[in-house]
Structure 1
Amino acid sequence: MTGSVRRFVRDNGLGLVFLTLFVLALVGQAIAGHADFDNRLAAEDLQQISLGEYVTSSDFAVDVMENWQSEYLQFFLYVFLTVWLVQRGSPESKRPGDVGVESDEQQRVGPHARPDSPRWAASGGLRLKVYASSLGYVMGAVFVLSWLAQSITGVAAYNEEQLRGLQAPDSWPEYLVSADFWNRTLQNWQSEFLAIASMAILSIYLRQRGSPESKPVGASHSATGVEG
């Protein structure tokens, strides 16, 4: 391994590890999901399918999409709500009294931009306005698109089950108000909201030495917006 490669791995270790874990988990989900799906087909005396057929099926796609949309909803809400809401004592929160979008000087935009600031941060008008909220916009867009994909793949998977049971399929609008769609959606949303609340609240009183997601071990419980 060359020095430049080692440097790249060192400087991007967090992203590389999580992307690797993502791929491994997705492969594991495909293998386990295929086995479970074939077991259900066998129980109904239906022909089993290959792994390749399963990973291109609506059943696999809807399981993936329903998780993606809930994760990006979490990020979208967290990015925007932490602009205006605080949690005293949490390193995940701004300090009470610092709510809002802050001044141009604090945000280093327009005439206050530095030489190493992104080019759009030094601009004005629409470009600056878009760039200033680009993280939230992208998170929101991915959430909407993955939720739409969940609904499309979900109705296909649902109708396959309906037809196997000799029942009439639903249209897409009918599926959007069905119990299956909202059960898939809300079971993921509630876990994401609980995870965010747990992180914001538990980090007030608990510590992880050396982590930027935690306050320094000796920091006061009331210290807010302080990272280790």
Structure 2
Amino acid sequence: MEVSQNLPVAQPGSKPRGSAQRGSVQPGSKPGSEPGGSDQRGSVQGGNKTGGSARPGTEPSGSAQPATKPSGSAQLATRPSGSAQPANRPSGSAQLTTRPSGSAQPANRPSGSAQLATRPSGSAQPATEPSGSAQPATQPSGSAQLTTQPSGSAQPATQPSGSAQPATQPSGSAQPATQPSGSAQPATQPSGSAQLTTQPSGSAQPATQPSGSAQPATQPSGSAQPATQPSG
């Protein structure tokens, strides 16, 4: 007699009725559909599974999703919240472009520290201040120095250390335009510290200020008196 026919043995193809496969690990999708009665609890299939964890794409939550995740940390693109999003995030820190709030936005941020131009208030006026933080040129220390600062935060050029240096900085976090880190947005920030030009108040003077807080024109000390500033 041939007993080997139609037994409830686990064949790799179509399974007969009554085959209870609990915990069986199939490497790929099954070549044949199983008839009724196949009880597969906990079977881990290698391909095209609708349920499970660690889906590679379009997950709404999680950490470090590569694309189109609404929440999580370190999302690469189009995340509404999180930290260190590179593009069009409404909130978070170190957004590269078009962020309404946060630190280290390169352009058109309404708030933040170290804005480059046209800030109505804040400390760090742009020209010839002997003291202040974030001087743009030839400042040995401070925050948001523009050129040739050995240390500090937000130095734009040739700074060995610090945060938010725009050019040739070995360390820093999330600088959009050759800035390794920081706070210090380069353009059109209404408020913040370290504004480069025409800032009535703020810290981070753009040119030749060794220390102090935002004096715009030949002020040895004080707090943000650049030129026709209502307050500071």
TM-score range, shorter chain: under 0.3
CA radius of gyration, larger in:
2
Q: Give TM-score scaled by structure 2 length.
A: 0.25
Give the alignment's TM-score, normalised by structure 1: 0.26
Q: Which has the higher helix share?
A: 1
- Greater RCO between the two (CA within 8 Å, min separation 6)? 1
